[in-house]
Protein backbone atom coordinates (compact mmCIF):
# COMPACT_ATOMS: atom_id res chain seq x y z
CA UNK A 1 0.00 0.00 0.00
CA UNK A 2 1.37 3.41 -1.03
CA UNK A 3 0.31 6.39 1.08
CA UNK A 4 0.62 10.08 0.21
CA UNK A 5 0.64 11.97 3.52
CA UNK A 6 -0.05 15.67 3.10
CA UNK A 7 1.47 17.52 6.04
CA UNK A 8 -0.55 20.61 6.93
CA UNK A 9 2.15 21.71 9.40
CA UNK A 10 1.07 19.18 12.00
CA UNK A 11 2.89 19.03 15.33
CA UNK A 12 1.99 15.30 15.35
CA UNK A 13 3.35 14.42 11.90
CA UNK A 14 6.16 12.18 13.19
CA UNK A 15 3.71 9.99 15.14
CA UNK A 16 1.46 9.72 12.09
CA UNK A 17 4.43 8.79 9.89
CA UNK A 18 5.46 6.06 12.37
CA UNK A 19 1.91 4.72 12.51
CA UNK A 20 1.79 4.42 8.71
CA UNK A 21 5.26 2.88 8.44
CA UNK A 22 4.48 0.40 11.25
CA UNK A 23 1.54 -0.76 9.15
CA UNK A 24 4.05 -1.63 6.43
CA UNK A 25 2.93 1.00 3.94
CA UNK A 26 5.21 2.85 1.57
CA UNK A 27 5.10 6.54 2.57
CA UNK A 28 5.49 9.74 0.57
CA UNK A 29 5.23 12.94 2.68
CA UNK A 30 4.53 16.29 1.02
CA UNK A 31 3.64 19.67 2.47
CA UNK A 32 0.34 21.38 1.78
CA UNK A 33 0.50 22.80 -1.74
CA UNK A 34 3.70 20.86 -2.54
CA UNK A 35 2.26 17.62 -3.92
CA UNK A 36 2.06 17.02 -7.66
CA UNK A 37 -0.08 15.07 -10.08
CA UNK A 38 2.63 12.37 -10.12
CA UNK A 39 2.46 12.08 -6.31
CA UNK A 40 -1.28 11.49 -6.55
CA UNK A 41 -1.01 9.09 -9.49
CA UNK A 42 1.57 6.94 -7.70
CA UNK A 43 -0.43 6.50 -4.50
CA UNK A 44 -3.13 4.14 -3.30
CA UNK A 45 -4.53 6.41 -0.56
CA UNK A 46 -4.13 10.01 0.55
CA UNK A 47 -4.05 11.23 4.15
CA UNK A 48 -4.64 14.87 5.06
CA UNK A 49 -2.94 15.59 8.39
CA UNK A 50 -4.03 17.78 11.24
CA UNK A 51 -2.62 21.19 12.06
CA UNK A 52 -2.95 24.01 14.52
CA UNK A 53 -1.28 26.59 12.29
CA UNK A 54 -3.96 27.72 9.86
CA UNK A 55 -7.68 27.05 10.47
CA UNK A 56 -9.85 25.75 7.65
CA UNK A 57 -12.09 28.82 7.64
CA UNK A 58 -10.47 31.93 6.19
CA UNK A 59 -7.37 30.00 5.11
CA UNK A 60 -6.70 32.46 2.25
CA UNK A 61 -5.96 29.68 -0.21
CA UNK A 62 -3.47 27.67 1.87
CA UNK A 63 -5.58 24.52 1.41
CA UNK A 64 -6.73 25.30 -2.16
CA UNK A 65 -4.88 22.35 -3.73
CA UNK A 66 -6.30 19.96 -1.10
CA UNK A 67 -9.83 21.29 -1.65
CA UNK A 68 -9.51 20.45 -5.37
CA UNK A 69 -8.18 17.00 -4.45
CA UNK A 70 -11.16 16.40 -2.14
CA UNK A 71 -13.63 17.42 -4.84
CA UNK A 72 -12.03 15.64 -7.79
CA UNK A 73 -9.75 12.74 -6.82
CA UNK A 74 -10.87 9.14 -7.25
CA UNK A 75 -8.24 7.96 -4.72
CA UNK A 76 -9.28 7.09 -1.16
CA UNK A 77 -8.82 10.10 1.13
CA UNK A 78 -8.56 10.06 4.93
CA UNK A 79 -8.71 13.28 6.93
CA UNK A 80 -7.21 13.49 10.43
CA UNK A 81 -8.28 16.32 12.78
CA UNK A 82 -7.85 19.43 10.58
CA UNK A 83 -7.97 17.09 7.55
CA UNK A 84 -11.36 15.88 8.87
CA UNK A 85 -12.52 19.52 9.15
CA UNK A 86 -11.14 20.36 5.69
CA UNK A 87 -12.97 17.47 4.01
CA UNK A 88 -16.20 18.20 5.87
CA UNK A 89 -16.15 21.93 5.11
CA UNK A 90 -15.13 21.46 1.46
CA UNK A 91 -18.09 19.12 0.95
CA UNK A 92 -20.59 21.47 2.62
CA UNK A 93 -20.43 20.90 6.39
CA UNK A 94 -20.70 23.73 8.87
CA UNK A 95 -17.80 24.19 11.30
CA UNK A 96 -18.01 25.87 14.67
CA UNK A 97 -15.16 27.24 16.78
CA UNK A 98 -15.33 26.19 20.42
CA UNK A 99 -14.48 28.56 23.22
CA UNK A 100 -12.46 25.87 24.92
CA UNK A 101 -10.14 23.47 23.14
CA UNK A 102 -11.00 19.77 23.23
CA UNK A 103 -7.78 18.18 24.51
CA UNK A 104 -7.41 14.71 25.97
CA UNK A 105 -8.93 11.26 25.81
CA UNK A 106 -12.54 11.28 24.62
CA UNK A 107 -15.07 8.44 24.43
CA UNK A 108 -16.77 8.00 21.06
CA UNK A 109 -20.06 6.22 20.44
CA UNK A 110 -20.30 4.27 17.21
CA UNK A 111 -23.49 4.88 15.22
CA UNK A 112 -23.15 1.75 13.07
CA UNK A 113 -21.61 -1.13 15.04
CA UNK A 114 -21.61 -3.25 11.87
CA UNK A 115 -19.13 -0.84 10.23
CA UNK A 116 -16.05 -2.98 9.73
CA UNK A 117 -13.53 -0.30 10.68
CA UNK A 118 -14.84 -0.23 14.27
CA UNK A 119 -14.52 -4.00 14.79
CA UNK A 120 -18.07 -4.26 16.16
CA UNK A 121 -17.32 -1.84 19.00
CA UNK A 122 -20.14 0.32 20.34
CA UNK A 123 -17.76 2.72 22.13
CA UNK A 124 -14.04 3.40 22.19
CA UNK A 125 -11.57 6.01 23.48
CA UNK A 126 -9.28 8.19 21.38
CA UNK A 127 -7.04 11.23 21.86
CA UNK A 128 -8.25 14.58 20.55
CA UNK A 129 -6.77 18.05 20.38
CA UNK A 130 -8.83 20.60 18.43
CA UNK A 131 -10.79 23.81 18.72
CA UNK A 132 -13.14 23.37 15.75
CA UNK A 133 -16.06 20.93 15.58
CA UNK A 134 -18.41 19.88 12.80
CA UNK A 135 -21.76 21.45 13.58
CA UNK A 136 -23.68 19.69 10.80
CA UNK A 137 -22.84 17.35 7.92
CA UNK A 138 -24.16 17.56 4.36
CA UNK A 139 -26.28 14.62 3.11
CA UNK A 140 -23.33 13.14 1.17
CA UNK A 141 -21.38 12.51 4.41
CA UNK A 142 -22.56 9.77 6.78
CA UNK A 143 -21.70 10.15 10.48
CA UNK A 144 -19.99 7.02 11.86
CA UNK A 145 -19.16 8.04 15.44
CA UNK A 146 -20.05 10.88 17.80
CA UNK A 147 -19.03 12.25 21.19
CA UNK A 148 -20.40 14.91 23.50
CA UNK A 149 -18.67 17.41 21.16
CA UNK A 150 -20.41 16.29 17.95
CA UNK A 151 -19.50 14.22 14.90
CA UNK A 152 -16.12 12.48 15.31
CA UNK A 153 -15.95 10.20 12.26
CA UNK A 154 -17.67 10.12 8.89
CA UNK A 155 -17.58 8.51 5.47
CA UNK A 156 -18.76 9.67 2.07
CA UNK A 157 -21.89 7.97 0.70
CA UNK A 158 -20.40 7.19 -2.72
CA UNK A 159 -16.63 7.73 -2.59
CA UNK A 160 -13.80 6.36 -0.45
CA UNK A 161 -13.50 9.44 1.73
CA UNK A 162 -13.21 9.13 5.51
CA UNK A 163 -12.67 11.63 8.28
CA UNK A 164 -11.54 11.21 11.89
CA UNK A 165 -11.51 14.15 14.29
CA UNK A 166 -9.13 12.25 16.57
CA UNK A 167 -5.37 11.62 16.38
CA UNK A 168 -4.85 7.87 15.79
CA UNK A 169 -1.12 7.99 16.53
CA UNK A 170 -1.48 9.49 20.03
CA UNK A 171 -1.38 7.03 22.94
CA UNK A 172 -1.76 3.91 20.76
CA UNK A 173 -1.34 1.59 23.76
CA UNK A 174 -4.22 3.09 25.75
CA UNK A 175 -6.65 4.30 23.09
CA UNK A 176 -8.27 2.63 20.07
CA UNK A 177 -7.27 5.26 17.49
CA UNK A 178 -4.40 3.32 15.93
CA UNK A 179 -6.43 0.10 15.66
CA UNK A 180 -9.36 1.95 14.02
CA UNK A 181 -6.89 3.51 11.58
CA UNK A 182 -5.36 0.11 10.76
CA UNK A 183 -8.84 -1.39 10.33
CA UNK A 184 -9.55 1.30 7.73
CA UNK A 185 -6.24 0.54 5.97
CA UNK A 186 -7.16 -3.18 5.88
CA UNK A 187 -10.57 -2.32 4.44
CA UNK A 188 -9.10 -0.03 1.76
CA UNK A 189 -6.49 -2.68 0.86
CA UNK A 190 -9.23 -5.27 0.31
CA UNK A 191 -11.25 -2.82 -1.79
CA UNK A 192 -8.25 -1.95 -3.98
CA UNK A 193 -7.18 -5.56 -4.61
- Distant-in-sequence, close-in-space partners of 190: CB < 8 Å, separation ≥ 6: none
So what's the pLDDT on residue 193?
63
Domain boundaries, the chain: 2-192
- What is the C-alpha separation between 29 and 129, in angstroms, rounded? 22
The helix/strand/coil state of 52 is coil
Split the chain (193 residues) into runs of 10 and give each run's mean pLDDT: 93 90 94 91 94 80 93 96 94 90 87 81 86 90 92 94 91 85 88 70
So what's the pLDDT on residue 162?
96
Global pTM reads 0.93
What CATH topology corresponds to 2-192? Rossmann fold (3.40.50)
**What is the full DSSP assignment across 85-152?**
HHHHHHTT-EEEEEEEEEEEEEEEEES-TT-GGGTT-SEEEEEEEEEEEEEE--TTEEEEEEETTEEE
The helix/strand/coil state of 33 is coil
Amino acid sequence: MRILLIDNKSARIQGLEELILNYGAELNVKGAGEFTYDDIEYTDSIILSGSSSIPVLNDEGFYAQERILIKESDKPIIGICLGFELIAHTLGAKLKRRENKVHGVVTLSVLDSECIIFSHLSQFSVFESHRWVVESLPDKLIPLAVSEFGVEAFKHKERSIYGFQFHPSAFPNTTAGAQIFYNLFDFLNRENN
